[in-house]
Protein backbone atom coordinates (compact mmCIF):
# COMPACT_ATOMS: atom_id res chain seq x y z
CA UNK A 1 0.00 0.00 0.00
CA UNK A 2 2.79 2.43 0.81
CA UNK A 3 4.32 1.92 -2.56
CA UNK A 4 1.07 2.89 -4.24
CA UNK A 5 0.76 6.05 -2.10
CA UNK A 6 4.36 6.94 -2.83
CA UNK A 7 3.67 6.39 -6.52
CA UNK A 8 0.57 8.58 -6.41
CA UNK A 9 2.44 11.26 -4.48
CA UNK A 10 5.38 11.23 -6.86
CA UNK A 11 2.95 11.25 -9.79
CA UNK A 12 1.11 14.35 -8.51
CA UNK A 13 4.29 16.35 -7.94
CA UNK A 14 5.27 16.51 -11.64
CA UNK A 15 1.70 17.56 -12.56
CA UNK A 16 1.88 20.45 -10.12
CA UNK A 17 5.33 21.40 -11.41
CA UNK A 18 4.08 21.28 -15.00
CA UNK A 19 1.11 23.50 -14.10
CA UNK A 20 3.40 25.98 -12.32
CA UNK A 21 5.76 25.99 -15.29
CA UNK A 22 2.80 26.65 -17.61
CA UNK A 23 1.86 29.86 -15.78
CA UNK A 24 5.44 31.17 -15.93
CA UNK A 25 5.75 30.19 -19.57
CA UNK A 26 2.52 32.05 -20.32
CA UNK A 27 3.77 35.18 -18.49
CA UNK A 28 7.15 34.95 -20.25
CA UNK A 29 5.50 34.59 -23.67
CA UNK A 30 3.16 37.50 -22.95
CA UNK A 31 6.03 39.77 -21.83
CA UNK A 32 8.10 38.70 -24.84
CA UNK A 33 5.26 39.62 -27.21
CA UNK A 34 4.72 42.94 -25.42
CA UNK A 35 8.39 43.89 -25.74
CA UNK A 36 8.41 43.10 -29.47
CA UNK A 37 5.20 45.13 -29.95
CA UNK A 38 6.73 48.15 -28.17
CA UNK A 39 9.91 47.90 -30.25
CA UNK A 40 7.85 47.67 -33.45
CA UNK A 41 5.79 50.73 -32.47
CA UNK A 42 8.94 52.71 -31.68
CA UNK A 43 10.42 51.82 -35.08
CA UNK A 44 7.20 52.76 -36.90
CA UNK A 45 6.87 56.08 -35.07
CA UNK A 46 10.55 56.89 -35.57
CA UNK A 47 11.03 55.93 -39.21
CA UNK A 48 7.60 55.89 -40.91
CA UNK A 49 5.33 58.47 -39.32
CA UNK A 50 4.78 60.64 -36.28
CA UNK A 51 1.71 61.89 -34.50
CA UNK A 52 1.38 65.67 -34.02
CA UNK A 53 -1.26 67.86 -32.46
CA UNK A 54 -2.68 71.05 -33.96
CA UNK A 55 -2.46 74.14 -31.78
CA UNK A 56 -4.21 77.32 -32.85
CA UNK A 57 -6.58 78.39 -35.60
CA UNK A 58 -4.24 79.31 -38.47
CA UNK A 59 -5.27 76.24 -40.50
CA UNK A 60 -9.06 76.62 -40.05
CA UNK A 61 -11.29 75.36 -41.61
CA UNK A 62 -9.06 72.47 -42.77
CA UNK A 63 -7.54 71.73 -39.36
CA UNK A 64 -8.85 72.79 -35.97
CA UNK A 65 -7.25 73.38 -32.61
CA UNK A 66 -6.95 70.00 -30.86
CA UNK A 67 -6.87 67.85 -34.02
CA UNK A 68 -4.26 65.07 -34.10
CA UNK A 69 -2.56 64.05 -37.35
CA UNK A 70 -0.18 61.43 -38.62
CA UNK A 71 2.78 62.98 -40.40
CA UNK A 72 5.06 61.04 -42.74
CA UNK A 73 8.56 60.89 -41.34
CA UNK A 74 10.01 59.40 -44.51
CA UNK A 75 11.82 62.08 -46.52
CA UNK A 76 10.15 62.53 -49.85
CA UNK A 77 9.08 65.04 -52.43
CA UNK A 78 7.17 67.98 -51.03
CA UNK A 79 4.43 69.16 -53.36
CA UNK A 80 2.55 72.43 -53.67
CA UNK A 81 -0.69 72.01 -51.72
CA UNK A 82 0.82 69.68 -49.08
CA UNK A 83 0.22 70.46 -45.42
CA UNK A 84 3.57 70.25 -43.67
CA UNK A 85 4.92 70.36 -40.13
CA UNK A 86 7.82 72.81 -39.87
CA UNK A 87 10.51 72.82 -37.18
CA UNK A 88 12.49 75.79 -38.52
CA UNK A 89 13.37 78.17 -35.67
CA UNK A 90 11.07 81.21 -35.69
CA UNK A 91 10.08 84.14 -33.52
CA UNK A 92 7.03 82.20 -32.25
CA UNK A 93 9.36 79.52 -30.82
CA UNK A 94 7.07 76.68 -31.85
CA UNK A 95 6.64 74.18 -34.68
CA UNK A 96 4.23 75.27 -37.40
CA UNK A 97 1.61 73.50 -39.52
CA UNK A 98 1.09 75.28 -42.85
CA UNK A 99 0.20 74.62 -46.48
CA UNK A 100 2.90 74.76 -49.19
CA UNK A 101 1.97 77.48 -51.71
CA UNK A 102 5.18 77.63 -53.74
CA UNK A 103 8.61 76.02 -54.00
CA UNK A 104 12.10 77.17 -54.91
CA UNK A 105 12.17 79.10 -58.19
CA UNK A 106 8.42 79.91 -58.12
CA UNK A 107 7.17 83.50 -58.21
CA UNK A 108 4.46 84.35 -55.69
CA UNK A 109 2.22 87.37 -56.13
CA UNK A 110 -0.64 88.30 -53.82
CA UNK A 111 -3.39 90.75 -54.77
CA UNK A 112 -4.69 91.87 -51.39
CA UNK A 113 -7.55 93.89 -52.91
CA UNK A 114 -8.86 90.89 -54.86
CA UNK A 115 -7.75 88.44 -52.16
CA UNK A 116 -6.05 86.13 -54.66
CA UNK A 117 -2.71 84.33 -54.65
CA UNK A 118 -0.87 83.85 -57.94
CA UNK A 119 2.04 81.45 -58.48
CA UNK A 120 4.01 81.68 -61.74
CA UNK A 121 1.24 83.77 -63.32
CA UNK A 122 -1.59 81.35 -62.41
CA UNK A 123 -4.23 82.36 -59.84
CA UNK A 124 -4.54 79.49 -57.36
CA UNK A 125 -7.86 77.74 -56.89
CA UNK A 126 -8.08 77.55 -53.11
CA UNK A 127 -11.30 75.86 -51.94
CA UNK A 128 -9.62 75.14 -48.59
CA UNK A 129 -9.22 78.74 -47.35
CA UNK A 130 -11.47 80.34 -44.74
CA UNK A 131 -11.70 83.65 -46.64
CA UNK A 132 -9.92 85.68 -49.30
CA UNK A 133 -6.31 86.68 -48.57
CA UNK A 134 -6.31 90.28 -47.34
CA UNK A 135 -3.69 90.33 -44.56
CA UNK A 136 -0.49 91.70 -46.07
CA UNK A 137 2.51 90.94 -43.88
CA UNK A 138 5.97 92.52 -44.32
CA UNK A 139 6.92 91.66 -47.89
CA UNK A 140 6.34 93.47 -51.17
CA UNK A 141 5.09 91.25 -53.99
CA UNK A 142 5.90 89.57 -56.31
CA UNK A 143 8.51 87.46 -54.46
CA UNK A 144 10.70 84.74 -55.99
CA UNK A 145 11.11 81.77 -53.65
CA UNK A 146 14.82 80.90 -53.27
CA UNK A 147 15.94 77.40 -54.29
CA UNK A 148 15.60 74.84 -51.49
CA UNK A 149 12.98 77.00 -49.77
CA UNK A 150 9.18 76.96 -49.49
CA UNK A 151 6.54 79.66 -49.30
CA UNK A 152 3.84 78.51 -46.86
CA UNK A 153 0.52 79.97 -45.69
CA UNK A 154 -2.20 79.02 -43.26
CA UNK A 155 -5.66 78.26 -44.63
CA UNK A 156 -7.10 80.85 -42.24
CA UNK A 157 -5.38 83.53 -44.30
CA UNK A 158 -6.35 86.55 -42.23
CA UNK A 159 -5.42 84.91 -38.92
CA UNK A 160 -2.12 83.20 -39.75
CA UNK A 161 1.50 84.14 -39.24
CA UNK A 162 3.25 82.52 -42.20
CA UNK A 163 5.67 83.26 -45.06
CA UNK A 164 4.03 86.66 -45.59
CA UNK A 165 5.70 87.74 -42.33
CA UNK A 166 9.41 88.17 -41.63
CA UNK A 167 8.72 86.40 -38.31
CA UNK A 168 8.46 83.19 -40.38
CA UNK A 169 9.66 83.99 -43.90
CA UNK A 170 10.68 81.35 -46.40
CA UNK A 171 10.99 77.83 -45.03
CA UNK A 172 14.14 75.79 -45.59
CA UNK A 173 12.99 72.37 -46.87
CA UNK A 174 15.41 70.69 -44.46
CA UNK A 175 13.21 71.89 -41.58
CA UNK A 176 10.11 70.09 -42.82
CA UNK A 177 9.39 67.34 -40.29
CA UNK A 178 6.90 65.67 -42.62
CA UNK A 179 3.72 65.89 -44.67
CA UNK A 180 0.34 65.53 -42.94
CA UNK A 181 -1.38 62.31 -44.02
CA UNK A 182 -4.44 61.44 -41.93
CA UNK A 183 -6.44 63.01 -39.11
CA UNK A 184 -6.64 60.47 -36.27
CA UNK A 185 -8.59 62.68 -33.86
CA UNK A 186 -11.43 63.54 -33.81
CA UNK A 187 -12.30 59.93 -34.64
CA UNK A 188 -14.06 59.21 -37.91
CA UNK A 189 -12.99 62.49 -39.56
CA UNK A 190 -9.93 60.92 -41.20
CA UNK A 191 -9.59 62.91 -44.41
CA UNK A 192 -7.74 66.19 -44.07
CA UNK A 193 -8.67 67.90 -47.33
CA UNK A 194 -12.37 67.12 -47.95
CA UNK A 195 -12.41 69.16 -51.17
CA UNK A 196 -10.19 66.61 -53.00
- State the maximum Cα–Cα separation within the chain, in Å, rounded to a whole number: 108
Catalytic annotation, pick one of 72, 98, 103, 163: 98
Per-residue CA distances from 177 to 56, 119, 141 (Å): 18, 24, 28
Active site residue 160: no
3-class SS at 182? strand
CA distance 188 to 190: 6
CA distance 92 to 15: 68
Cβ atoms of 97 and 59 closer than 8 Å: yes
Catalytic annotation, pick one of 4, 20, 58, 91: 58
Cβ atoms of 97 and 50 closer than 8 Å: no
Residue numbers annotated as active site: 58, 98
Amino acid sequence: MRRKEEYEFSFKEPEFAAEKKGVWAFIYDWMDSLIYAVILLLLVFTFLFRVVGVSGSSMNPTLNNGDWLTVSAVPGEISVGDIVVITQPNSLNEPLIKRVIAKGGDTVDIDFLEGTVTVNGQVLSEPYIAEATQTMGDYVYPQVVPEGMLFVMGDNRNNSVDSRSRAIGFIDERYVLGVAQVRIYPFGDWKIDDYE
